[in-house]
Amino acid sequence: MSVSFMKWQESLETGVKYLAEGDSEKAEEYFQLSLSEAEVLEVSIIIAFSVRLLATAQLRNNKLNEAERGFSRALDHCLKLDNKKGIAEAKAGMASIFFVRGEYSKSVYLYKEAINIYPVNSSPLRLAVLFSDLGQVYCRMKKWKKAEDIFLKAKALCQQNGYRQGEAEVNQSLGEVYYCQGMNDAARIMFKSAASIFGSVGDEISLANAQQYLAFLYLEGNKIEEALLYQYRVICLYLKHDLSKEISESYYLLSNILQYCRLYEEAQHSINVSLKYYNGFEFGFAVRFHSLASIALMKKDYEDAKKFYFEALKFFQFHGDGLKVGEICEELTFLLRYEEACLRGNLYKWLGGRYFSNYFTKYEVMLQLANSLNTKGNNLAALRCSWRALEIAKAMKYETEEIEVLIQNISEKLRKKNK
């Protein structure tokens, strides 16, 4: 008996370690071992605990049916034992499954039940997490007032218990709620508060994410100096932690801001740095080389523009994006036709002013912002930015298919994908 308990405890602790590190596959493996040992012990509370942790790992591994069975089994054990905390946790687990499936009404119902049954003498910080999870469901349902009220309850619990990290995370969620409603001033206050707390507790990655939001907000408000200040801070933090993907994205966005300021040399340098750190798919290389071609046109460096167009064309062909291939072929054909004359007037007339307009650059920035937020999992904010990009593109009479596809993809994620 004592040997089995030690094996159970060892496997469980190893599984928790892997889960905390984000390795849910390893975590599932060790939680499965802990469950096997728990069943040897034949102690209901231990079995329920092991089953619930295993289901949590399975949920993160997108094994929804297995996770649902696990949470249901844990709930049965806890109901028999009248273990209120276990019941609450199992119901919260079931709620998270319905959340992933897009069955938000069921998710709300179960989260509310979990919150109501949660024991008053248990961890208030865990209760704050349950409130926050419920708030995320309301966000998916676009019930902004309910989301705000629930997040404020979570924030109050964090403040009452001195949990600064949790307070900052809730402030960031509130910022997203306000941003999605167009309440940019209120959003800015929340993101600044989140950034301040993240800085005070030493969470520099979360600090960079909060400051990235501030850069976006100032950019949207045409406060370019403030946007640049925050964007440079973001880049410094990502460089400090050697996060290649984030460095590349941040430099690419910086290049768009610099183009908006007509600082073309600096914008070109930023994209070159972005390329240096980029380790993604062909599409990412394609859009960066396309941006370099655009900058070269603005600088009237037509030989460079040709070179970058051919690079962009190559990568768009690898990616299989027929629409972009056609667009670049047209632009490149026109450039080749006029490369000797180098008449900006002709380029301007044919391209409709796209590469010589601040409005175009802002459209590109908003589209890049949407893609960046979407990549980071901030789907609601990404959706709002993509709608803004669509408005600008339509006003310019520019091709909108790419943006419409992005909107469809983000909307699909909001329905089906876990955060």
Q: Where are the domains of the chain?
A: 1-122, 136-202, 211-271, 280-356, 360-419
Smallest Cα–Cα separation from 106: which of 61, 56, 155, 68? 68
CATH tag for 136-202 (out of 1.25.40, 3.40.50, 2.60.120, 3.30.1330): 1.25.40
pLDDT confidence of residue 221: 85
Say which range, 134-138, 140-144, 342-346, 410-414, has the weakest mean pLDDT: 342-346
Q: Which two tokens stand for residue 329?
A: 């072929």
Say whether pLDDT at 350 is over 50.
no
Q: Which two tokens stand for residue 178?
A: 């306000």
Q: Judge whether 1-122 and 211-271 match in fold.
A: yes
Q: What is the mean pLDDT of the chain?
A: 84
The mean per-residue pLDDT over the stretch 394-410 comes to 68
Tens of pLDDT, residue by residue over 151-209, are: 999 999 999 999 999 999 999 999 989 988 889 999 999 999 999 999 999 999 999 98
Tens of pLDDT, residue by residue over 209-232, are: 899 889 988 988 889 899 999 999
Task: Read off the pLDDT band of 20 (50, 70, 90).
Answer: confident
* Interhelix angle 264-277/244-260, nearest 10 degrees: 170
Say whether pLDDT at 348 is over 60.
no
Residue bearing the bigger pLDDT, 402 or 286: 286
Say whether pLDDT at 373 is over 90.
no
Distance CA 217, CA 296 (A): 28
pLDDT confidence of residue 357: 42
The mean per-residue pLDDT over the stretch 357-378 comes to 59
Distance CA 383, CA 12 (A): 39
Q: 233 and 212 in contact (C-beta within 8 Å)?
A: no
| Sign for the pseudo-dihedral over CA of 41, 45, 50, 55 | positive
pLDDT confidence of residue 126: 93
The mean per-residue pLDDT over the stretch 44-65 comes to 93
pLDDT confidence of residue 138: 94
Distance CA 381, CA 367 (A): 12
Topology of 1-122 in CATH?
1.25.40
The mean per-residue pLDDT over the stretch 372-392 comes to 67
pLDDT confidence of residue 284: 84
Topology of 211-271 in CATH?
1.25.40
Looking at the chain, how many residues does it have? 419
Residue bearing the bigger pLDDT, 401 or 78: 78
* Displacement of CA 174 from its chain's centroid (Å): 15
